[in-house]
Amino acid sequence: MQSKRGRLDRYVSVKANIPRKSVRDLLLSGRVRVDGEIVKDMDRQVDEFSHIQLDDQILQANTPVYVMLHKPVGVVSATKDNQHKTVIELLACEHRHGLHIAGRLDLNSSGLLLLTNDSRWSEALMSPTQKVDKVYRVTLTNPLTHEYITAFADGMYFGFEEITTQPAKLVILDPHVAEVTLKEGKYHQIKRMFGRFRNPVMGLHRLSIGDIVLDEQLQPGESRTLTAAEIASIKI
């Protein structure tokens, strides 16, 4: 999801369907307000949450929304799907429109899924430079050995994307269960990493993203809005 920060004259032009040249005159005559204040500077940067008004007409008034969902197995991380129920359909009605997913989970994975309408926040969360830890509990078909710990820490080369995975932490919790911490999220990354050992993943559950931990009170399919501290834990 692209960040929607941009120039005020462009926003007014698009939202009010007025040519950019005419917007300049509107601005200079003091007819445009941003967050309640008259703004005459067309270079002024605004985003999708700036309150923008032309005379008495509200051109934009969005509120940022941040939701955590306990994604159940069998529900697809998408906004639309012809075959499966989507995570959006699990949300309360007032949250169903305009949210996007910040870091998908596979159809047969479960756990913490974050959704928002704030593209700057989700970009920061998923940015490779921010290296936000994502912690997963993984259940395997075959027993784990200490070789896995070293292989995950060293990184694995994926020829398809021509990348080596960043060092990942693997802790063996019991012979068939590991806790894996990734700083990135490549396509089917965990399944592919265990695939190197020909060890199929039986269950994959995301426990946390950075300081945001899946709320134990949430049953699969339930969601809640994030607290101010959880939102602020992702640095924009």
Catalytic residues: 106
Q: Name the minimum Å distance from CB 205 to ligand URA.
A: 9
* Residue carrying structure tokens 């929607």: 4
Looking at the Cβ atoms of 190 and 234, the one nearer to ligand URA is 190
Residues forming the site for ligand URA (CB under 6 A): 105-106, 109, 188-191, 204
Dihedral (Cα; 130, 136, 140, 145), 10-degree rounding: 60
Q: Name the minimum Å distance from CB 75 to ligand URA.
A: 12
Q: Name the minimum Å distance from CB 105 to ligand URA.
A: 4
Looking at the Cβ atoms of 65 and 156, the one nearer to ligand URA is 156
Looking at the Cβ atoms of 115 and 204, the one nearer to ligand URA is 204
Give me 120's structure tokens.
Answer: 């700057």
Q: Name the minimum Å distance from CB 59 to ligand URA.
A: 39
How many CB atoms neighbour CB 59 within 10 A?
Answer: 16
Looking at the Cβ atoms of 75 and 204, the one nearer to ligand URA is 204
Q: Return the HEC string of the chain.
A: CCCCCEEHHHHHHHHHCCCHHHHHHHHHCCCEEECCEECCCCCCEECCCCCEEECCEEEECCCCCEEEEEECCCCECCCCCCCCCEHHHHCCHHHCCCCEECCCCCCCEEEEEEEECCHHHHHHHHCCCCCCCEEEEEEECCCCCHHHHHHHHHCCEECCCCEECCCCEEEEEECCEEEEEECCCCCCHHHHHHHCCCCCEEEEEEEEECCEECCCCCCCCCEEECCHHHHHCCCC
Looking at the Cβ atoms of 3 and 208, the one nearer to ligand URA is 208
Q: Name the minimum Å distance from CB 22 to ligand URA.
A: 49
